[in-house]
Chains A and B, each alone.
Chain A
Amino acid sequence: MAGAGARAARVKDDALFDEAFMAKLEYLDIVAKKRFISQARGDRRSKRIGAGLEFADHRRYSPGDDFKNIDWNVYARMGRLLVRLYEEEEDLYVYLLVDSSASMAVGDQHKFDYARKLAAALAYITLSSLDRVSVLPFSAELGQQLVPARGKAQIFRVFEFLRGVRPGGQTSMADAFKAFVHQTRRRGLAVVISDFYAQDGYEDGLNYLRYHKFEPFVIQLTDDRELEPDLRGDILLVDCETGLQKELTVTSRLLAKYRAAHAAWCDELEAFCKKSQVSYFRTPIQVPFDDLMLRVFRAGGFLT
């Protein structure tokens, strides 16, 4: 039985990134290039100050600085030696942090597949713009990651990697992201794809990213079926991650309250992201992933 289940999962994973999926990626790539992303290599400004062309700032002259960078105009006006600084142009690192906890895999058509498709699409767009992409599944800890890769041809490595990821375990963003920031030297865009169902909350995890100079980009996945569960009467709720049990008598009133609580919880996440100046997107998995991608492009913030 277990073997049959594994075989079925493999077949399902093989069908995850099929021809139709590839066609959609091509379409998204074209749309992205046309509207949002420049064709030039290394076109994105990095936070690093270095030998770029774009003026960034001044600083006091220190012995040893190159004389050619002294702003003589400022010296003429103000009598102070200031050195011109330029933004260094370098490759962008995009880290796709994909939630692979057990809560992502509840139900038949589950959030984890959607997350993998989304990650694959984002990776394709990223690779297509000659940036580097890395995929990092996480649950309570950081899983095995796909090391940063560059070039469009790497997309198949991404597919293969995503196919091999199996959902399971609890969600702990704080632990996982703490490990991530400490083991990742190059800063970049950290796209978090998750349902954010974490017992210990999401705030610490996202703050870790922020405080370590990553640019968090939050995509929250929801499932409409979780909001409208087909539950009535006396039931025993079991948390798929923690195994915690809770006896409950479900009525229509209770369901309405649950929906309100869920909406409030999502709003809390959105408000947190807004307050923290973190890009935030929420989508039910019943929406096609390419529609979400277009929304992301329209909103900006990803690769622009």
Chain B
Amino acid sequence: MSFAGLGTSELWTLFAAFGGAMVLLYVLRLRRRRVEVPFTPLWARVVEEKQSSSLFRRLKRILSLLVQLAIIGLIVVALGDPKLGGLAGCGYQAPAPPPERHTLLMIDASASMATIERGEPRLEAARRAAHEVVDQVAPNPNHRVMVVQVDATTRPLTLWSSDAKALHAAIDAVAPQGALDTPTNVDDALRLAASALRDREGAEAVFVTDRAFTPIPEARAAAVHLRVVPVGAAGANIGVAAFNVRPYLDDSLTYAIFYRVRSDADHPLKATLFLYANDDGRGVDDFVDPARVVGSYALELPANGSVEAVIDAVKFSGSRLAARVRIDPADPTRDVFPRDDVAFALVPERKVLKVQLVSAGDLFLNAALLVRENVDLVTKTPAEYAGPEGFDVTIVAGAAVDMSRPGNYFIVDPQPGGPVEITGELAEPQVARGDRKHPIARHLAFVDLNIQKAAKVTRERGDEVVAATAAGAPLLFTRTDAAGGRRFVVLAFDLRQSLLPMNYAFPLLVVNVLSWFHQESAGLLQPNRAGAELSLAFPLPGRQVTAVGPADAGRIDVRRVGDRVHLAVDRVGVYTLTTDDADGATFPVAINLTDAAESRVSPQEVTYPSWEPPAPVVLDDDPWLSSVWRILLLAALGLVLVEWLTWNRRVTV
């Protein structure tokens, strides 16, 4: 006899534990009830007559204990699921138990699974394939399956189970609202597979997927015995791969729109890009409305390629934009993956900056500042300067004024006694080094400046040098005095002692400096992707952050950590974050798909080992003889009834 359930040692442990507990309870049960009687000698007379029967009484008690221990023994052995090696004389020979196998059934629920093929999403085909896998393994009761949903995260939907009904139900529960708008996190899925399959008999990971993800290295696939059940066929798809709104540096009323549209069709296509604006739109349906179109642009898409362009001077009202690309109706090509046809962008808010220029009369700076529309400039002489209060930026050019109070200071030609220590003078310095990635240096090239002389200043810890001489002497740098609430941008020379004002870069430098002070990103906005954990700078007060998304938004995980908010969602759209303390103020976030791998809906050329159904198993045709545990449980039940009956009839009392 062998045990298919718990092992022999475990069964002995269980029997010892429960048997010991039973004996203990039995001893406790023998604690007698205390009864007060008026005259015990009368009872003594009776008991004396009964002395001869006390041995039988004790025997009956032991019998009762033995019956209960037998019940425990039967149940414990039943837990071991004993298998009879053979019943000699009965002509019954139990077949060998079917092999143990473990299949991690991963179902792709990422965005590409929303591709429409033969009138239904790929996810439905994947579901059918997964059901088929379960049906194939179900005849083997020792073949256990765990159903896992794979998208941006990996979510087990069952434990290891051989219950086909439960497994089918779990498969039906994969992304019940349809495929998500997230990429496929293959790394995560493989990690889970490696963990779940470790030390399992007959382990394999079966991935039902359209393979729209970065190819899996062969070694990693082999490590988890990855088998792929492919779904999906080749098809044409166009989609918005990038979409951003870029504010003009000196024009707050018009915007530059950047887009990239890619095509997976094997032939050129004509398409149209539509732009929609809406102040409070959240989902596709809120934007895609002829009344909200702010522009449409004809595109010529090459075969398996992309086009990108910047649409200049787009004027519109509204704080939220959506772009949607459509194949021309005249073209018979059908876009099989409409999910990536739409992208969202937020229009950066503008504000008028209050800037004061403190100088003896620097016309270059004055002119550069006047270029920018959204600057409210006030010029003051050093004598008129009363402090930085009330201004977003204070520009001090060649003047020695008090800069000890909190504020944003742009110091041009620093003077002794100011916040910047001057140790000498640099004659005809040349910009030889610089941080071209610094926001202040954006779009700038410090060439042909011809600086006649510059102040030699002392660097401090934390200074970010944007431009310096070959010897490292800073000519343009930033300094942050967090304790004093001051930020500085220092240009270490007099503009009039250089050709910088004549350079086309000079107005850009001024704009960059002002933007740096206000942390205003003047470049392309980084796209936020569905499924990714986003960490966003969050300006609103309050601890409890709530998020509202489009009508079909599923999971929204949002929490505040310090001055940032962490957000993870499964659907594209515009999400609005707010807090209880924000007085109704909201913070919008645009979430897009824009994942090249997901948009590439045609099957990859990489091939993975395919899944083969297991060999049919031979099962016992007499489940009662093979399932000894049932007989044992019935016997235990019978003994319980006998014990109950004898106890209540006071036979074994």
Contacts and interface: CB of A to CB of B under 8 A. Distances in A.
A binds B: yes
A248 B46 CA distance: 10
B39 A257 contact: no
Nearest to A196: B39
B648 to A, nearest CB: 10
Interface stretch (A23-31, A74-82, A231-239): A231-239
B650 A232 contact: yes
B38 A226 contact: yes
Contact of B36 (A195, A232, A234, A238): A238
Nearest to A244: B40
Given A249-B653, A251-B650, A237 B46 contact: no
A267 to B, nearest CB: 13
B59 to A, nearest CB: 13
A292 to B, nearest CB: 20
A257 B46 contact: yes
A233 B57 CA distance: 11
B351 interface: no
B653 A197 contact: no
Contacts of B50: 254, 257
A258 B46 contact: yes
A235 B47 contact: no
Interface residues of B, number: 22
Contacts of A195: 38-39
A262 interface: yes
Contacts of B90: none
B461 interface: no
Contact of B40 (A229, A233, A239, A251): A239
Q: Main SS of the interface on chain A?
A: mixed
Contacts of A247: 32
B49 interface: yes
Nearest to A106: B38
Given A233-B653, A238-B35, A265 B40 contact: no
B32 A236 contact: yes
A246 B47 contact: yes
A9 interface: no
A241 B34 contact: no
B471 interface: no
Contacts of B39: 103, 195, 197, 239, 241
Nearest to A252: B650
A199 interface: yes
B653 A246 contact: no
Given A234-B30, A261-B45, A261-B46, A239 B37 contact: yes
A235 B36 CA distance: 10
A233 B38 contact: no
Interface in B369-419: none
Nearest to B50: A254
B43 A237 contact: yes
Given A233-B650, A252-B650, A254-B46, A199 B41 contact: yes
A237 B38 contact: no
B38 A197 contact: yes
Contact of B43 (A106, A233, A248): A248
Interface in A184-224: 195, 197, 199, 223
A244 B42 CA distance: 13
B319 to A, nearest CB: 78
Nearest to A260: B46
A235 B57 CA distance: 14
A246 B478 CA distance: 98
A240 B35 CA distance: 9
A232 B653 contact: yes
Interface in A69-106: 102-104, 106
B376 to A, nearest CB: 88
B33 interface: yes
A29 B87 CA distance: 91
Contacts of B57: 249
A234 B37 CA distance: 15
Nearest to B30: A234
B34 A246 contact: no
A231 B650 CA distance: 12
Nearest to A254: B46
Interface string A132-152: 000000000000000000000
B44 interface: yes
Given A246-B44, A246-B47, A249-B653, A231 B38 contact: no
A103 B35 CA distance: 13
Contacts of A242: 40
A196 to B, nearest CB: 9
B33 A235 contact: yes
B90 to A, nearest CB: 45
Given A232-B653, A249-B653, A258 B43 contact: yes
Contacts of B653: 232-234, 249, 251
B487 to A, nearest CB: 80
Interface string B11-37: 000000000000000000010111111
Contacts of A223: 38
Contact of B33 (A199, A226, A234, A241): A234
Contact of A237 (B30, B37, B45, B650): B37
B40 A237 contact: yes
Contacts of A236: 32-35
A261 B37 contact: no
B644 to A, nearest CB: 15
Contacts of B42: 258, 261-262, 265
A247 B38 CA distance: 15
Contact of A103 (B33, B38, B44, B46): B38
B43 to A, nearest CB: 6
Contacts of A248: 43, 47
Contacts of B49: 257
Interface in B434-473: none
Nearest to A238: B36
Most chain B C-beta atoms within 10 Å of own C-beta, residue among A235, A236, A248, A254: A248
A140 B49 CA distance: 30
Contacts of B46: 254, 257-258, 261
Nearest to B37: A237
A235 B47 CA distance: 13
A235 B38 contact: no
A199 B38 CA distance: 11
A106 to B, nearest CB: 5
Contacts of A197: 38-39
A195 B30 CA distance: 33
A235 B32 contact: yes
Nearest to B29: A234
A11 B431 CA distance: 114
Interface of A: 102-104, 106, 195, 197, 199, 223, 226, 229, 231-242, 244, 246-249, 251-252, 254, 257-258, 261-262, 265
28 contacts: A102-B38, A103-B38, A103-B39, A195-B39, A197-B39, A199-B41, A223-B38, A229-B35, A233-B650, A234-B32, A235-B33, A238-B37, A239-B39, A240-B36, A240-B37, A242-B40, A244-B40, A246-B40, A246-B44, A246-B47, A247-B32, A248-B47, A249-B57, A257-B46, A258-B42, A261-B45, A261-B46, A265-B45
Interface of B: 30, 32-47, 49-50, 57, 650, 653
Among all A-B residue pairs, the 6 with the closest Cβ atoms: A103-B38, A197-B39, A236-B32, A239-B40, A106-B38, A257-B46
Given A235-B35, A240-B36, A258-B43, 12 more contacts: A102-B38, A232-B650, A234-B653, A236-B32, A236-B33, A239-B38, A239-B39, A246-B40, A252-B650, A257-B46, A258-B42, A258-B46
